[in-house]
Amino acid sequence: MKSIIPLAIILISSFINAQNTNDSKFVYGENGLEPRHITIDIKGMDMDEMQTKAEEWLNEKYEAPKGKSDSNNDKKIKPGKSITAYEIYEDNEGDATGKANNNKKLRFTGFTNNAICIGKGADYSCETVEYTIELRLRDGDLRFKPIKLTYKGASDKKEQTINLKKNKFAKNGAIIDGYEKASSQIETLLNSLRRSIVNYLTGKAQEEEW
Protein backbone atom coordinates (compact mmCIF):
# COMPACT_ATOMS: atom_id res chain seq x y z
CA MET A 1 0.00 0.00 0.00
CA LYS A 2 1.13 3.53 -0.73
CA SER A 3 0.12 6.68 1.05
CA ILE A 4 1.15 10.32 1.01
CA ILE A 5 1.33 13.43 3.16
CA PRO A 6 2.51 16.04 0.61
CA LEU A 7 3.66 19.58 0.74
CA ALA A 8 3.63 20.46 -2.85
CA ILE A 9 2.99 22.12 -6.07
CA ILE A 10 0.79 20.62 -8.62
CA LEU A 11 0.76 19.53 -12.27
CA ILE A 12 -2.68 18.75 -17.70
CA SER A 13 -2.46 16.79 -20.36
CA SER A 14 -1.41 17.29 -23.92
CA PHE A 15 0.07 14.89 -26.41
CA ILE A 16 3.78 15.31 -26.20
CA ASN A 17 7.02 13.48 -26.64
CA ALA A 18 9.47 13.13 -23.79
CA GLN A 19 13.10 12.22 -23.69
CA ASN A 20 15.49 11.70 -20.80
CA THR A 21 18.36 14.16 -20.83
CA ASN A 22 20.37 11.04 -19.98
CA ASP A 23 19.71 7.47 -18.96
CA SER A 24 20.72 8.04 -15.37
CA LYS A 25 19.30 5.94 -12.58
CA PHE A 26 19.70 6.41 -8.87
CA VAL A 27 22.35 4.23 -7.24
CA TYR A 28 22.72 3.91 -3.45
CA GLY A 29 26.32 2.98 -2.78
CA GLU A 30 29.38 3.87 -0.75
CA ASN A 31 28.87 7.61 -1.28
CA GLY A 32 25.16 7.50 -0.60
CA LEU A 33 22.70 8.44 -3.32
CA GLU A 34 24.17 9.20 -6.74
CA PRO A 35 23.27 11.28 -8.61
CA ARG A 36 21.54 13.53 -6.10
CA HIS A 37 18.90 14.49 -8.65
CA ILE A 38 17.89 13.59 -12.21
CA THR A 39 16.56 16.06 -14.79
CA ILE A 40 14.34 14.76 -17.59
CA ASP A 41 13.40 16.58 -20.81
CA ILE A 42 9.62 16.82 -21.22
CA LYS A 43 9.19 18.12 -24.75
CA GLY A 44 6.11 20.20 -25.50
CA MET A 45 4.86 20.63 -21.92
CA ASP A 46 5.12 23.91 -20.06
CA MET A 47 5.36 24.51 -16.35
CA ASP A 48 1.64 25.15 -15.85
CA GLU A 49 0.64 21.97 -17.69
CA MET A 50 3.00 19.98 -15.49
CA GLN A 51 1.43 21.58 -12.43
CA THR A 52 -2.01 20.29 -13.37
CA LYS A 53 -0.72 16.87 -14.41
CA ALA A 54 1.13 16.36 -11.13
CA GLU A 55 -2.06 16.78 -9.17
CA GLU A 56 -3.65 14.04 -11.27
CA TRP A 57 -0.67 11.76 -10.62
CA LEU A 58 -0.80 12.27 -6.84
CA ASN A 59 -4.54 11.57 -6.83
CA GLU A 60 -4.18 8.38 -8.83
CA LYS A 61 -1.14 6.90 -7.10
CA TYR A 62 -1.82 7.59 -3.44
CA GLU A 63 -4.57 7.09 -0.86
CA ALA A 64 -5.75 9.20 2.07
CA PRO A 65 -8.69 9.33 4.46
CA LYS A 66 -10.12 12.58 3.10
CA GLY A 67 -9.50 15.40 0.66
CA LYS A 68 -7.87 18.75 1.19
CA SER A 69 -8.40 21.96 -0.75
CA ASP A 70 -5.57 24.00 -2.21
CA SER A 71 -5.42 27.43 -0.59
CA ASN A 72 -4.23 29.00 -3.85
CA ASN A 73 -6.74 27.78 -6.40
CA ASP A 74 -9.36 26.10 -4.17
CA LYS A 75 -9.20 22.84 -6.14
CA LYS A 76 -10.27 19.72 -4.27
CA ILE A 77 -8.36 16.49 -3.94
CA LYS A 78 -10.86 13.64 -4.13
CA PRO A 79 -11.73 11.83 -0.87
CA GLY A 80 -9.94 8.52 -0.41
CA LYS A 81 -6.60 9.85 -1.59
CA SER A 82 -3.61 10.48 0.61
CA ILE A 83 -2.98 14.20 0.15
CA THR A 84 -3.40 16.04 3.44
CA ALA A 85 -1.73 19.34 2.50
CA TYR A 86 0.04 20.95 -0.40
CA GLU A 87 0.96 24.37 -1.70
CA ILE A 88 1.82 25.92 -5.03
CA TYR A 89 4.85 28.18 -5.10
CA GLU A 90 7.29 29.64 -7.58
CA ASP A 91 11.04 29.59 -7.16
CA ASN A 92 13.35 31.60 -9.39
CA GLU A 93 16.28 29.29 -8.86
CA GLY A 94 19.40 30.34 -10.77
CA ASP A 95 21.11 28.17 -13.37
CA ALA A 96 24.83 27.40 -13.60
CA THR A 97 25.54 30.96 -14.80
CA GLY A 98 23.60 32.48 -11.92
CA LYS A 99 20.77 33.63 -14.20
CA ALA A 100 17.34 33.25 -12.61
CA ASN A 101 14.86 30.86 -14.26
CA ASN A 102 11.15 30.77 -13.57
CA ASN A 103 10.11 27.44 -12.14
CA LYS A 104 7.71 25.83 -9.71
CA LYS A 105 8.47 23.17 -7.16
CA LEU A 106 6.35 20.33 -5.87
CA ARG A 107 7.52 18.81 -2.61
CA PHE A 108 5.56 15.88 -1.23
CA THR A 109 6.00 13.35 1.54
CA GLY A 110 4.63 9.85 1.12
CA PHE A 111 5.29 6.30 2.20
CA THR A 112 5.40 2.84 0.71
CA ASN A 113 4.83 -0.24 2.87
CA ASN A 114 7.25 -3.19 2.83
CA ALA A 115 9.76 -1.16 0.82
CA ILE A 116 12.87 -2.30 2.67
CA CYS A 117 13.66 -5.70 4.21
CA ILE A 118 16.31 -5.87 6.93
CA GLY A 119 17.56 -8.03 9.78
CA LYS A 120 18.20 -11.76 10.23
CA GLY A 121 16.26 -14.68 11.61
CA ALA A 122 13.62 -13.66 14.12
CA ASP A 123 14.60 -10.01 13.63
CA TYR A 124 14.00 -10.06 9.85
CA SER A 125 11.21 -7.70 8.79
CA CYS A 126 10.05 -5.62 5.85
CA GLU A 127 9.42 -2.00 6.78
CA THR A 128 7.65 1.09 5.52
CA VAL A 129 9.85 3.78 4.00
CA GLU A 130 8.70 7.38 4.19
CA TYR A 131 10.18 9.76 1.63
CA THR A 132 10.13 13.44 0.79
CA ILE A 133 10.56 14.18 -2.92
CA GLU A 134 10.98 17.55 -4.63
CA LEU A 135 9.90 18.00 -8.25
CA ARG A 136 11.20 21.14 -9.93
CA LEU A 137 8.94 22.08 -12.85
CA ARG A 138 10.15 24.22 -15.73
CA ASP A 139 8.99 24.66 -19.31
CA GLY A 140 10.28 21.53 -21.04
CA ASP A 141 11.90 19.70 -18.14
CA LEU A 142 11.37 18.09 -14.75
CA ARG A 143 13.94 17.59 -12.01
CA PHE A 144 13.36 14.73 -9.56
CA LYS A 145 15.23 15.15 -6.27
CA PRO A 146 14.92 12.94 -3.16
CA ILE A 147 15.15 15.11 -0.04
CA LYS A 148 14.72 12.69 2.87
CA LEU A 149 14.06 8.98 3.46
CA THR A 150 13.27 7.35 6.80
CA TYR A 151 12.16 3.99 8.23
CA LYS A 152 11.68 2.36 11.60
CA GLY A 153 12.73 -1.25 12.04
CA ALA A 154 11.05 -3.70 14.41
CA SER A 155 13.89 -3.37 16.94
CA ASP A 156 14.43 0.38 16.50
CA LYS A 157 13.37 2.69 19.31
CA LYS A 158 13.25 5.71 17.01
CA GLU A 159 12.92 6.54 13.34
CA GLN A 160 16.02 5.91 11.25
CA THR A 161 17.13 8.42 8.61
CA ILE A 162 18.66 6.97 5.44
CA ASN A 163 21.80 9.03 4.84
CA LEU A 164 21.85 10.37 1.27
CA LYS A 165 25.55 11.30 1.42
CA LYS A 166 26.91 8.07 2.89
CA ASN A 167 25.64 4.48 2.81
CA LYS A 168 23.50 3.89 5.88
CA PHE A 169 23.91 0.13 5.60
CA ALA A 170 27.72 -0.11 5.36
CA LYS A 171 30.52 0.05 7.90
CA ASN A 172 34.24 0.13 7.14
CA GLY A 173 33.50 -0.42 3.46
CA ALA A 174 31.38 -3.56 3.97
CA ILE A 175 27.61 -4.03 4.05
CA ILE A 176 26.33 -4.70 7.57
CA ASP A 177 25.08 -8.24 8.12
CA GLY A 178 21.33 -8.40 7.57
CA TYR A 179 21.22 -5.31 5.34
CA GLU A 180 22.34 -6.94 2.08
CA LYS A 181 19.09 -6.12 0.22
CA ALA A 182 18.56 -2.61 1.57
CA SER A 183 20.63 -0.56 -0.89
CA SER A 184 19.10 -2.14 -3.99
CA GLN A 185 15.61 -1.76 -2.51
CA ILE A 186 16.16 1.97 -1.99
CA GLU A 187 17.31 2.22 -5.63
CA THR A 188 14.22 0.32 -6.81
CA LEU A 189 11.88 2.56 -4.82
CA LEU A 190 13.33 5.86 -6.07
CA ASN A 191 13.79 4.78 -9.68
CA SER A 192 10.22 3.45 -9.76
CA LEU A 193 8.84 6.71 -8.38
CA ARG A 194 10.77 8.71 -10.96
CA ARG A 195 9.64 6.44 -13.77
CA SER A 196 6.03 6.66 -12.62
CA ILE A 197 5.77 10.46 -12.72
CA VAL A 198 7.61 10.66 -16.05
CA ASN A 199 5.39 7.96 -17.60
CA TYR A 200 2.30 9.78 -16.34
CA LEU A 201 3.41 13.11 -17.77
CA THR A 202 4.24 11.60 -21.14
CA GLY A 203 1.21 9.32 -21.41
CA LYS A 204 3.16 6.05 -21.33
CA ALA A 205 1.51 2.89 -20.01
CA GLN A 206 1.48 2.66 -16.23
CA GLU A 207 2.47 -0.41 -14.28
CA GLU A 208 2.52 -1.43 -10.63
CA GLU A 209 5.72 0.51 -10.16
CA TRP A 210 6.36 0.54 -6.44
Work out the pLDDT band at 85, boundaries 50, 70, 90: very low
On the question of pLDDT at 111 being above 90, the answer is no
Tell me the average pLDDT across 154-176.
91
Distance between CA atoms of residues 119 and 129, nearest Å = 15
Phi, psi torsion values for 19, nearest 5 degrees: -150, 135
Work out the pLDDT band at 208, boundaries 50, 70, 90: low
Q: Which has the minimum average pLDDT: 2-6, 18-22, 41-45, 121-125?
A: 18-22
Amino acid symbol at 186 = I
Strand 38-42 with 141-151, pairing = antiparallel
On the question of pLDDT at 68 being above 80, the answer is no
Q: Which has the minimum average pLDDT: 35-49, 51-65, 101-115, 137-151?
A: 51-65
Q: Taking the complete model, does pTM exceed 0.85, yes or no? A: no
On the question of pLDDT at 136 being above 60, the answer is yes
Distance between CA atoms of residues 60 and 167, nearest Å = 32
Strand ranges in the chain using DSSP code E only, listed in sequence order: 2-4, 18-20, 27-29, 32-34, 38-42, 104-118, 125-138, 141-151, 160-161, 170-171, 174-175
On the question of pLDDT at 160 being above 70, the answer is yes
Distance between CA atoms of residues 156 and 36, nearest Å = 27
For residue 207, count other CB atoms closer than 10 A to its CB: 10
Answer left, alpha or beta for residue 123, where phi above 0 means left and psi between -120 and 50 means alpha.
alpha
Enumerate the domain spans of the chain: 2-202
Closest CA to 133 of 194, 67, 53, 207: 194
Helix (H) and strand (E) counts for the chain? Answer: 2, 11
**Count of all residues that appear for the chain in the document:** 210
Tell me the average pLDDT across 140-159.
89
Strand 170-171 with 160-161, pairing = unpaired
